[in-house]
Structures are given as structure tokens and as C-alpha cells.
Amino acid sequence: MAGILEGLKVLEMGHVVAVPAASATMADWGAEIIKLEPLTGEMARGILTPITPEEKAWVANPQYVNWYFEFLNRGKKGIAIDLRSEAGKKIMRELVGWADIFMSNYEVKTIEKLQADYESLKKINPRIIYAILTGYGTVGPDKDERGFDFSAAWARSGAMFLMGEPGSIPPPQRGGMMDRVTGAHMVGGVLAALYHREKTGEGQKIEFSLYHTGVWTIAEDIQPALLGSPPGKLVHALARNPLWNNYRTRDDRWFWAAMLQPDLSWGNFCRALGHPEWENDPKFNNLEQRYWNREELIRLIDEVLATKTLAEWEAIFRANDVIYGRVQSPMEVAADPQALANNFFVDLHHNVRPDMKTVMTPVKFVQNPPEVKAPAPEVGQHTEEVLLSMGYTWEDIARLKEQQVIL
């Protein structure tokens, strides 16, 4: 079955994570992606550059794969062009003529210097859907600040401030988290613009920022702040609804009690904890009473949960219809039968590591299922192939190589 975006043409001038993640998603969905890189390759190829001797030994292993670059760039064609040269700019402009979508997270001033701004590209292809990602937006005092997701989306948005117990060190996000969230926003936006183009014939410029992605992601905290009531951090010992809280088990594991309609679950929860007498205790027997007596109740729950392991509790919770989620490690996720049953991980078909799996994107089209088509390209792996398909001859290609415009 054909991929759902079969026939769609995307020119990616992206680096690091956000834009590559967006175009990898569209590649999984069947679109043709040409990734344009400088001759030295884009930055993300260097993220795993070894620093310590152990890391150097790891990279020297013949089975080593640059997995960070792989999973963000699977299924794309790679071409390497020096865009500072006139001949290189010409190739880029020709590719813009070919493409439905152009996406980039280069700095705006770099894009202007490369004459890849919307005004220039729309002259070549008025129907182009042009998507640009910045750290902090395209106007305002910080428009030229370089932003990574750690800073622009996580620290600046309020998410990092609000995480963790009061007094604890604000936790940084994990690598690329908010970039991949931004990537989903970008896919949604560019495809909506394409749908509009199908109806009207009109192209579109779309702007995204990491900062706005962060703000939308924690909109339930920004919204009350906008209304004058900024929220505070969560405190385990003072959770407003003790059935919506983090708890530790005897084997030092944690789980999240996820009962947002706690009056419906309270009886089950009491039975699961082996304290059916709590159910009708007037101190705890409804939402409001549990709120007023929450410190006592949370202490009691903490004590009970510390008597059994997570595995023991899970069997009991399931038998009693308690809604919860265990805090899993990534190794547990990688082996989780539920993740495997739902096809979270697929073969990358990498010739160096034939056994290598990669993380699938999360949208499952039932009639036109997504698939990972191929591993990530080497720097410039498809330069010749793409140039030939655009009408360049082998002589042209030889000349461009000599001039160091392409690899």
C-alpha cells in the first residue's frame, strides 16, 4: 500500500532536531524528502562526536552507527551543496522549483544571506509552502537569539520552572524532546497549508518558534497566569487530589495514580490498598474531605504503598480497576510487550547494524500505514542522482565537484 503522502516533495534545509524530525515524519508517511546539507554535513552529525576515551573506543567499533543522526533522517535523500557559491544557490533554486514544501530552521539572517527567504523563493515557485522555525519568533527584542529547545522551549516557557518539588533543581528536558514536539506542529501546519493550496492554488509562509511551542505545550499553566492566577509547583505531600499523585513503592519504584474522577474510584482504591474502612471514613469519603485532610491521607497512602513492590501493587491495582501508570525506564520501554504489539519500533535495515531498530513516528494510518523506507543518507549520498534527475549531465557534475560546490 502506498504511503499516505506518496508524491509529496519536500526540500529540507534543516539541522539538529526539529526540522529533521518533521521531515522524517513525512518520509515515514511516503513523501519524498531531499535534505540539503553543507559539504561538511549538518550539525547533528556531530552530536555524538566522542570526547572521552571510552566514547572514542565505542565509535571505533566497526558496528558503530551514528544512531542520533539515523533516527532523525531515515528515509531521506541527502545532497551536499556549498550554498555560498553561485552555482550552489542555483541548484537550491532549482530544487525550490521542484518542491511542494520548503522547510528550514537555519537562522533568519543566514537564510537571507543565502537568498532563501520567502520573498525570493516565492518568485521561483509561487505555490511553495515555506516553513521557517526560529527560537523566539521573527519579531521582537530576541528574534535573533539562537534558541535550542532546552533554552527557548523549556526554560523560557515556564515548563522548567514549574517542574519538580519546590526547592529542587529545575530539571532540564531530555535531548530533543521539545524539538520533536515542534516537529509535529510543523507537520500539522505545512500539511494544512498544502490542503489549502489544493483548494485555492495559493502558496503560504508559516512561522514557528520553539518558544511558542513551549508555551502551547504548557498552556494550562500559562492560561491561568494570563487570568492573573499563576499556578505553583506540585508538592507531593499536598496534592489537591491524593488520587492524582506520584507514589513510591517498597522497591523504590514510582507510579502515577491517575484518577481524575476520584469519587468514582475511591472505593476501588481503598480496597486495593487493603483499607476498605477508609471508604466511608468521613475524613476521606468525598473529594472535598480528601482535599481538607490531604496531608494525613497522603501520609497514610505513602505508608501503605511502601509495604509492597511495584509488581505486587500492579497486580492488585489491575484486579481493583485502579487507574495508574508505572514510571518506566527507557530499557523497560524498549522491551515492553505493549510497545512491541503496537509497532513502536521497526527495523532500520542498516547495513552496518542489520539488527538495528528505530523508533516509529506515532501516527498510525490504518489504510496507508507509515514505514521507515531506508537509513539516513551519508553526507551527499544522493547528490549525483538528484542532479541527474534535474537535468545536470555528468560533465556538469564533474565540474561542480572540481569547483567544490558539491561533494
Partner 1 sequence: MSGILEGLRVVEMGHWVAVPSACAVLADWGAEVIKIEPLTGESARGLRQLGEQTGDLFFNGVPVNWRIELHNRGKRGLAVDAIHESGREIICKLARWADVFMTNYELESLTRLRLDYARLSQENPKLIYALLTGYGTKGPDKDERGFDYAAAWAHSGIQFLLGEPGSPPPPPRGGMMDRTAGFQMLAGIMAALLHREKTGEGQELHVSLYHTGVWTLAADIEAALLGVPLPKYERHKIKNPLANLYRTKDDRWIQMIMLQSDLQWHGFCRAIGKPELENDPRFNNMLARAVHCEELISLLDAIFATRTLAEWEPLLRENKCIFSRIQTPAEVTTDPQAAINGFFSTIPHPVAQELKLVNSPVHFQQNPARIKSHAPEIGQHTEEVLLEIGYSWEDIARLKEERTIL
Residue with cell 513523501: 31
Q: Is residue 208 within a helix (H) or strand (E), and if so which, with residue range? A: strand 204-209
Q: Which of 189, 242, 377, 380 binds partner 1 (CB under 8 A)?
A: 189
Closer Cβ to partner 1, 192 or 311, answer by number: 192
* Neighbouring residues of 302: CB distance < 8 A, sequence distance ≥ 6: 247, 248
Closer Cβ to partner 1, 200 or 282, answer by number: 200
3-state secondary structure 65-95: CCHHHHHHHCCCEEEEECCCCHHHHHHHHHH
Least separation in angstroms between residue 162's CB and partner 1 is 5
Query: Phi first, then psi: what are they for 354, rounded to 5°?
Result: -60, -20
Closer Cβ to partner 1, 90 or 364, answer by number: 364
Identify residues 371-400 at the interface with partner 1 (CB under 8 A).
none
Q: Which of 365, 389, 394, 403 binds partner 1 (CB under 8 A)?
A: 365
Closest CA to 96 of 197, 6, 10: 10
C-beta neighbour count of 402 within 10 angstroms: 9
Identify residues 49-88 at the interface with partner 1 (CB under 8 A).
51-52, 65, 67-68, 70-71
Among 230-238, 276-284, 376-384, 385-393, which window interacts with partner 1 (CB under 8 A)? 230-238
Least separation in angstroms between residue 100's CB and partner 1 is 10
Least separation in angstroms between residue 264's CB and partner 1 is 11
- Interface with partner 1: number of residues (CB under 8 A): 150
33 burial (CB, 10 Å; 0-12 / 13-18 / 19+) is buried
Closer Cβ to partner 1, 138 or 393, answer by number: 138
DSSP class of residue 12 equals: E
Least separation in angstroms between residue 231's CB and partner 1 is 7
Q: Which of 33, 103, 160, 297 binds partner 1 (CB under 8 A)?
A: 160
The yes or no reply on residue 361 touching partner 1 (CB under 8 A) is yes
Among 106-114, 304-312, 332-340, 397-405, which window interacts with partner 1 (CB under 8 A)? 332-340
81 burial (CB, 10 Å; 0-12 / 13-18 / 19+) is buried
Letter string b/e over residues 258-288, b meaning 16 or more CB atoms within 10 A of that residue's CB: ebeebeebbbbbbbbbeeeebeeeeebbeee
The yes or no reply on residue 41 touching partner 1 (CB under 8 A) is no
Least separation in angstroms between residue 170's CB and partner 1 is 5
The yes or no reply on residue 293 touching partner 1 (CB under 8 A) is no
Closer Cβ to partner 1, 338 or 402, answer by number: 338
Q: 288 is written with which cell numbers? A: 472535598
Q: Which of 161, 285, 384, 399 binds partner 1 (CB under 8 A)?
A: 161
Strands 204-209 and 129-134, bridge-based pairing: parallel
